[in-house]
Amino acid sequence: MLLLVQRVSRHSSTATLLLLQHQRTSFFTLSHQRHSTTTHFNTIIMSSSTNLRQRPSAKSTNTAPASPPSPNRSHSSHSHSHSHGGHSHGEEEATALLSALSGSTDPGSRITLIGLAANVGLTGVKGAAGFILGSAALLADAAHSGSDLLADIVTLTTYRMSRKPVSDSHPYGYGKYESLGSLVVSFLLIGTALGIGLHSYHLLLTTLSSMPHMNASLLASLDALPHGHSHGGAEGAGAGDDAEIVDPRAMWFAAGSIVVKEWLYRATLKVAKSEHSNVLLANAFHHRSDAFGSLVAVGAIGGAWLGYPVLDPLGGLLVSGMILKQGAGVGITALKELTDQITDPTLPPRVHTLVASLRDPTLPPLPPFTTRSSTSLLSAPSPTPVAPPLPSSTGALPILSIPSIRIFASGPSLLLDIQLVLPSGLTLREANRVEREVREKCVEELGGQRVREVVVRLVGEGEEVDTDTHININMQALLAQAGLNLSEQDVKLSLIAIGIVLLGYVGSKALRMGSREAFLPPGPKTIPILGNLLQLPLEYTHLQMTKWAAEYGPIFSLKLANQTMIVLTGPSEVKELLDRRSATTSDRPPLHVANEVITNGKHLLAMGYGNRWRLVRRIMHQYLTVRMCEEKHQFVQAAESTQMIWDVLNQPTDYYNRVRRYSTGVILSIVYGRRGPSWKGVVSDLYEVMDPWSEIVETGATPPMDIFPWIKKLPNFLSPWRKKAQKVRQMELELYGSLASEVKTRRSKGILRDSLMDQVFDMQEKDGGGEPLLDDEQVAYIGGVLLEGGSDTTSSLTLSFLLACCAFPEVLAKAQAEVDSVCGRGRMPDFGDFDSLPYIRMCVKEVQRWRPVVITAFPHYTTKDERYKNYIIPKGTILIGNTYGIHFDPVKYPEPNVFRPERFADFPLSAPEYAAMSGDESRDHYGYGWGRRICVGLHIAERSMFLNIARLVWAFNITEDPAHPVDINNYSPGFLSAPRTFKCNITPRDDKVKDVVGAEFEAAKSVFKEYTD
């Protein structure tokens, strides 16, 4: 095959894959059947086995003579004992290959050598063309044609081996080598088909993502299902990214390849049929699939010319399916041969007809041939004894019945095992005549070159017939026992009708999947099966949800296949469903990656609503109350805030990490009783864990396995997300586990501190083990959850305020004026200034509204049916609180994208106080969530934000860098939103700043000593 299209992007076409990965297209132990012979009174039982091909070895054994009659005894007809010669199988195979390559004249070797020569020629021609045209793809295709030689060599070797005569080491011949060769070629075909199909799948998604009106982000997520890298379809793939350069001269190469490969297919197929060779048949399919591949490449060029690039991957998928079917068919036939199954179902009835044609026509007719027994045929003996026939010139044989016919395929050869029932009183000569004529008839009709051995076993009338018959359940008989006398045709028609009904039922259920039920809130139009899945973006989902809310109202529904999702974008809806009814709406949906693979159900954010959740939540809450903040934690916050200002003063260009160090340092002290004095170490380690955690639990980062559970069962090579998730789990356990172990080690030295983890270990140790739910992994995640939540949210909000200062300088000026009027220039603001700095408190609320960290709240899950207004919300519904949509309601917040703290002039209380109120519209903002899942650390966060904003505006002028204008919408995607790094100028407001901050930093060191070993 030839490459017709050269792509200038990183996306290879399906045509390229067809050229790079085209199809590549036994051990044999013949179960030695029991040739048992039984005599009873005057009955002669005879087993005769005649080898139809003379073995070259001088040690060939002849058929053992029949044992003389002996009453009530059972004899084995004969036995063989063979020894291996001094040669090895590897030497035999090498000899066969060398013999084939030396120019054998048998048809199979000859056509395979022709195919091998053709592949050598195609390699040279395409290699030269690729070099002349400067096409790397053509050169790669030339390498592919060279790799096609593997299938030819396998075919040639196994074909020649299978034609070797029998030997002492292979008493039944070498036919299974051909079956083994067919299996190898079938694996090559299947592997190539899967490779082409996988590539075509990715290319189809990439092509669709560049087309208008398609959900590029969802297609990119589907693209990540079987492999871990991105094709860039969701990264703005456009016409320019996938421009195709078509060289018309490549069409001639393709046409020539099609002609050559199609001729090879027809010629090889003809020889395969005449030689009864499955390995040649597999190689014929190999040639045909090459021709198909070139044909698809031509179609890809035609599609590019006509403006339909999607024809390329669709053609690739079609060819992949055809090759897969061919490869599977060849492989199944080879496996049947290797496991001694009948590969040609027409042979047993054909042999039955041959044997029946030799019978004496005066005998009772045989019952019709049946395959209901494992022996392929079972006939009852005559009810009355039949006298031995007199010698007949017609040659008619006294065959009463044919209990079994067994046929084994050994490569191209057949081995027949036929059991016959003869009347009593026959002489040995007469029995031998029956055996000889049956054997000769089979050889004559089936072909002497194909039939390697015929075993005829003779049993006397009335004796037990060894048929190895399995139990056969007869549906018709069962129905008759139930009083339903139906014909076989009636039974078949009934089963067909039942199948049609079941198929219709399943089909109707499948078509209804994805449809919106009438009792649900309205929403965007669905499509069968997938519902709204393709319409839901995988990044910045909040923007699309807010658009839908404007169209369908503050409560609307989405159908994600068979899963229902309801989005709440109104304060009344959120208050009613997520707050007042939180007893039944506080659960989490199945989150396979976040809750099962990564955290083992131990992470509070993803944990289901139950006893473990209540215990962990209670432990955290009781240490983060208002009283604990006022009596203990605010001293740590003030000291760490002082270091943050000092760090930014001395390293203003590294403000981003200085802010993040502050929030992590506060939580380390409160939770673990230790410090995080610098960015390096545990602080940076934490963000190295949180970044991949946030990425992988983001909607769309992994396949929708919670909607399609079968995805969970895919093997690892088709599930790269699993390796990533397991890596995140390992990183979390190492970090959170090591921090918990540090506390244990410190306590073992007698150093006790009033940290949350000290209290947790007290609980764990209480009463010889404490709470049974507090295992070591759960203890590690208690600290880890607080570390994540306290670090990322506070730092993101502080950075968002700095961004707002650059974009809206009037806000900074007004804030500085208020702080200066209260604190002057001789000290920094402190918690005691809370009531005196209302504009700073407004800034805290506005930054929560303007850029909430959790823009669409983590999903809730209903545990029972709920009625709301005229709607029914079924059990198992996902509820999403659209924080962004509520905060950007243009009616409540005019010009919502403008940072305007004055919006909250009428909200003097703290956010936790408003969250506790019962009114639908009483909340100032929803940045901390709602209901029983409201942020457990909101009191800490509220105080940190107040102190940080007040001190930053007191100490610094924060302005936009003229050379790098800020983009207020440049935020990272994911369930936790944070501004990406931006350039800004942070300078001290006057000379007093350094002295004041330096003095307060020295005073803060006394607090730090309490948390330093």
- Show binding-site residues for heme: 935
**DSSP letters of 929-982?**
--GGGS-TTHHHHHHHHHHHHHHHHHHEEEEEBTTB---TT-B--SSS--BPP-
379 closest CA partner among 362, 392, 363: 363
Handedness of CA 221, 222, 224, 230 (dihedral sign): negative
Binding-site residues: 935
Q: CB within 8 A of 837, min separation 6: which ones?
A: 818, 819, 822, 829, 946, 950
With the C-alpha atoms ordered 906, 912, 917, 922, is the resulting torsion angle positive or negative? positive
569 token code pair:
């974008």
DSSP of 153-181 = HHHHHHHHHHTSPP-SS-TT-SHHHHHHH
Burial class (CB in 10 A: 0-12, 13-18, 19+), 810: exposed
> For residue 115, how far is the Cα from the chain centroid?
38
CA distance 895 to 163: 86
What is the rounded distance in angstroms from the CA atom of residue 933 to the CA atom of residue 338? Answer: 61
Residue 990 near residue 825, CB atoms below 8 Å:
yes
C-alpha–C-alpha distance, residues 371 and 457, integer Å: 20
Angle separating helix axes 634-650 and 938-955, nearest 10 degrees: 40
Q: Which residue has the tokens 């083994």?
A: 180
How big, in percent rounded to 5, are the helix, strand and coil portions of the chain? 55, 10, 40
> Is the C-alpha dihedral spanning 719, 722, 723, 725 positive or negative?
positive
HSE, CB side, 13 Å, CA atoms: give it for residue 942: 26
Q: What is the largest CA-CA distance in the chain?
A: 135
Confirm if 703 and 725 have CB atoms less than 8 A apart: no
Q: Which residue do the tokens 């929030």 mark?
A: 663
State the Cα–Cα distance between residues 203 and 195, nearest whole angstrom. 12
How would you class 871 by CB atoms within 10 Å of its CB: exposed for 0-12, middle for 13-18, buried for 19 or more?
middle
Place of tokens 């009338």: 461
Burial class (CB in 10 A: 0-12, 13-18, 19+), 215: buried
Name residues whose C-beta falls within 8 Å of residue 510's C-beta, 6 or more positions apart in sequence: 528, 529
Q: How many CB atoms lie within 10 A of CB 830?
A: 16
Query: Got the DSSP string for 615-640?
Result: HHHHHHHHHSSHHHIIIIIHHHHHHH
Sign of CA dihedral 198, 203, 208, 210: positive
Query: 413 φ, ψ to 5°?
Result: -95, 155
8 A C-beta contact, residue 407 and residue 321: no
Alpha-carbon span 551 to 214, nearest angstrom: 20
Q: How far apart are CA 17 and CA 666, in angstroms?
A: 55
What 3-state class would DSSP assign to 205? helix
Query: Which residue type does 432 have?
Result: N
For the four alpha carbons of 317, 323, 325 and 328, in that order, the dihedral sign comes to negative
C-alpha span between 45 and 37 (Å, rounded): 5
Residue 6 phi, psi dihedral angles, 5° rounding: -110, 125
